[in-house]
Chain A
Amino acid sequence: MTDTAAPETSEETPATAAPAPRREPLGRRIAGFFSRSVVNLLMLIVALLWVIPSLGLFITSFRSVGDSGSSGWWTVLTEPSQLTLKNYVDLLSNSTITSSLWNTVLIVVPTTILVVLIGALAAYAFAWLHFPGRDWLLVGVIVLLAVPLQVALIPVARMFGWLGIFGSIPGVIAFHIAFGLPFAIFLLRNFFSQIPHEVLEAARVDGASEWRIFSRVVLPLGGPAIASLAIFQFLWTWNDLLIGLIFTNAESQPITVAIQSQLRQFGSNIDVLSTGAFVSMVIPLIVFFAFQRYFVQALLAGSNK
């Protein structure tokens, strides 16, 4: 950079190169002000661009099908009278949607609890117990982290058909758990293995059983990691489409599957689509905003899924 005259770039002319050091502070301050406002403006535009998509969906969900078919959602800014709650009233009286929303809850809650529980048990063994083949099994878990679930769809669908649980909620839950476990074990093992050795040894010397140590010492200490995993698994399962698409039927389908079946007529179904999509987003968004710290930690700790 040689163009020291431009305010944005004069920031880099430090004491070594400045012929008039007395004017420096003012110059730098002006430069700083300009570059800061440029950055601020830029980031503001970016933030706006990022918000507009969700905002558009949100507003669309409060407009009638007729309005959505003839003008864009932004016309609401000039004619707010278009806004109506009708779509939501319709949606809540639409039994397909409400029952699918309930199905989502029935799938997500057991999945999250079981992934955390089964994952924590295994993670504890991997972190603190000695057994033959432990390290190879752990490498196996790392490998499974990246396995695309597509490789299991066909055989598991057959297997579930054979077991009579194809199309049922327990089947979906089992599949979700299996593909949630590698990440759960990986994340929790990393965390459990950082628990100070002395804490566990003390408990062992006191004669506590491994189960007792696990449930009374490790689980409470692992609270933050377990919260991270639970949030992550919750969002992951709630937002799933593919597994639901394959392993559920009309009675057991989660909300994502119910909404996607309306996609064929995008224009005429825009009321169900926008409202349904927004309803399906509400719970994840609440969970996200309430616990985003834990969610970020899960991503930081794992970042393989």
Chain B
Amino acid sequence: MTATVDQPQAAPVREDGESLSSRTRRREALIATGFIMPALVLLGALVVYPMIYTFIRSFYNAKGDEFIGWDNYVTMFTSDTTFTAIRNNIIWVIVAPFTCTVIGLVFAVLLDKIRWSTAFKLIIFMPMAISMLAAGVIFRGMFQEDPNLGVVNAAIVATKSVFSDTSAYPGAKPRPDLGLTVDGGIIATDAEVATGSTIDFPLVGIRADSLGEDPTQAAPASGAGNDEITGTVWLDFVRGGGGTAGTIDDSEAGLPGVRVDAVAPDGTIAGSAQTEDDGTFSITGLDPGQSYRVALPAANFSEGATGVPWLSATFITAVVILSYVWIWAGFAMVMIASGMSAMDRTLLEAARVDGANEWKVFTKITVPLLSPVLVVVFVTLIINVLKIFDLVYVIPPGNAKPAANVIAVEMWTVSFGGGNDQGLGSALAILLLVMVLPFMIINVRRFRQERAS
């Protein structure tokens, strides 16, 4: 920046030695006004004035005809939907910018070590060019629950079936009328079982091939100590018929590797065990005198591995943040990589020659030297994340929308998407503005410092 253009307006009538007359100055100011007028009019009418309007509007009711003070702001923090939105926004701001920056940093450092760095950069950066809507469609498809449709669950299921052992018994049911019920795939005792007693699980409906070549004869469990519950899980079925339901007959096979849980009255799992080859188990370490429901978790019996419900309330925010990272990690990488190319490499070399390992070079030299760029990236991402809208609007299916909500989406729903409360909508917009404020100040300060230097 040249010094001449950099004079603060504190001395507007200062003479430059170029002896500009006040008339020329006035002329220049007039011309300048002509140059900036279109921008000023647009910014004033469509940004600044609306800001003020929204601020005032946020103190009025839904219809806008009654002043209600801070009521909208109180509603914002007390209503469940808006509060979820605010909480999710905070999660976003904590997780997304940090993740993007770290991934971008790692990629930028590793870029140096590969020959095809240009191609890599393009691949990672490419999502920046597409709309968040398209990205949303992509991620909604990828994370479908059915492993036949969603690629993520397909990969998980494929990995699971490679690593899981053969101890799953899909389709198993308990013998009826013996005090056992199936609920949501879980086989459990109807009554609570006191410690020191033995409880047996006679199961049927298991395909013979899931037992393996040479199944072990089921055995009755040994007696239980006073902090134990023992029992047997076995296939209560004799090939060719015969045998009594609920008792362990000859040539009935034990079911090894079944997980058995002791569930305390408050629903927590107090202890668990795996069955042996002969089907016996022994859950130890329980409170003597306490009673438990004994349950065989659904994982033992599920029809092969099922998909994770990624688009349900539990995981939805994580999935949407992941899609954001997919888009913006490239931004962080490109910014940081360009910061690195401007960095003084001799320092790195010197440190390496002095015997610093790569990790030390990275943490003690690369990162500190890059810290200005890292701050810029981080702040930019925070400003961007605060007003995140598209991805959250697009990815969650209807039933997960409330759980994924963020302020910008809530603001849209409340004011345009049927909520019909522009008072609350205005308050939410002002909340966004307030949250951005500290980062605005950081930007202004950085700008001032850059000019001063």
Contact = CB atoms under 8 A, between A and B. Distances in A.
> Do A and B interact?
yes
Contacts of A305: 380, 384
A70 B148 CA distance: 7
Given A12-B355, A53-B139, A137-B36, A152 B43 contact: no
Chain B interface size, as a band, is: 35 or more
Contact of B51 (A147, A177, A278): A147
Contact of A148 (B8, B36, B387): B387
Interface stretch (A92-100, A119-127, A219-227): A119-127
Contacts of A40: 113-114
Interface residues of A, number: 116
Contact of B440 (A16, A146, A156, A300): A146
A71 B394 CA distance: 23
A300 B432 contact: no
Interface in B320-354: 326, 331, 334-335, 338, 352-354
A150 B432 contact: yes
B56 to A, nearest CB: 10
B226 interface: no
Contacts, number: 320
Interface string B27-39: 0110111011011
A82 interface: no
A185 B47 CA distance: 15
A243 B1 CA distance: 36
Given A53-B138, A126-B36, A193-B5, 9 more contacts: A12-B355, A72-B151, A118-B39, A143-B443, A151-B55, A197-B4, A235-B129, A246-B416, A274-B141
Interface of B: 1-2, 4-5, 8-9, 12, 25, 28-29, 31-33, 35-36, 38-40, 42-43, 45-51, 53-55, 57, 107, 110, 113-114, 119-120, 122-135, 137-142, 148-151, 154, 326, 331, 334-335, 338, 352-359, 376-377, 380, 383-384, 386-387, 389-390, 393-394, 397-398, 408, 411-412, 415-416, 422, 425-426, 428-430, 432-433, 436, 439-440, 443-444, 447-448
Smallest CB-CB A-B distances: 9 pairs: A288-B129, A239-B131, A178-B46, A125-B35, A152-B50, A122-B39, A12-B357, A129-B32, A131-B32
26 contacts: A1-B359, A11-B358, A12-B357, A36-B114, A42-B110, A52-B142, A56-B142, A70-B148, A72-B154, A122-B38, A129-B28, A131-B33, A141-B43, A146-B436, A147-B433, A148-B387, A151-B54, A152-B50, A153-B415, A197-B4, A238-B131, A246-B416, A266-B141, A273-B137, A281-B129, A285-B130
